[in-house]
Structure 1
Amino acid sequence: MSTMTLHRPIPQTRQASTLRLTRRGRLVVLLLALGVVLGVGFALASGSVATQEAGTPEPTRVVMVGAGDTLWDIAADVDPEGDTRSTMEEITRLNALDSSMVTVGQQLIVPDE
């Protein structure tokens, strides 16, 4: 006995076309992307408030760290009436300190209030 098989034709599906860019096309896309980035950069930079005239400098003075001094002690001496933590942060900012560690003989710029 023999078996018969029927083959149905498989419907042809359309393959998605792939987009290919030539060298010139890639250059155009690159230049457009660069233009967008520069445009955003210029838009953000336009909000700058820099002027040609110098501003008024912060009143500061220099303090030398003595034996046993901590940044907390120095901040408390500089502004005894104010918030010691904010004064410590200001001293850290003025001197670009990485931590609150100070050494004997170190000169610190402190706010002169």
Structure 2
Amino acid sequence: MSAITVQPIAEPGSKPHAPRPRLVLVPTGSDAQGLGLTAPTGPVRLTRRGRLVLTLMALGLVVTAGFGASTAFASGAAAPRTITVEAGQTLSEIAASQLPGVALGDAIVEIQVANSLSTDQVHAGQTLTIPAG
């Protein structure tokens, strides 16, 4: 195997080139003690940026926990209520008045399921459970 290298030619009377960098052995482990190359053994010191990061992480955990708790309690807050059917009322009228935020067809089905009704017929004096909307 052969190799070609390019070496600058030194002219007579010119300054010599700077010496090439050399590899240096760096002490490790127990040989490095006393040279300032080991980790400090004192207490850990936080910089301003480190304190900011820790504060933001703690704040994020608190906000996340608060949001999770609020959604958990909000979903179970509304309890089903009961009403008594008056003369002349239909299930559609009851669904529209008692569940205004739900589509009429869906509201009727929810009331039928909550009361185990097989039809949409109701009669005066009947007690219906209105599910939480």
TM-score by length of 2: 0.40
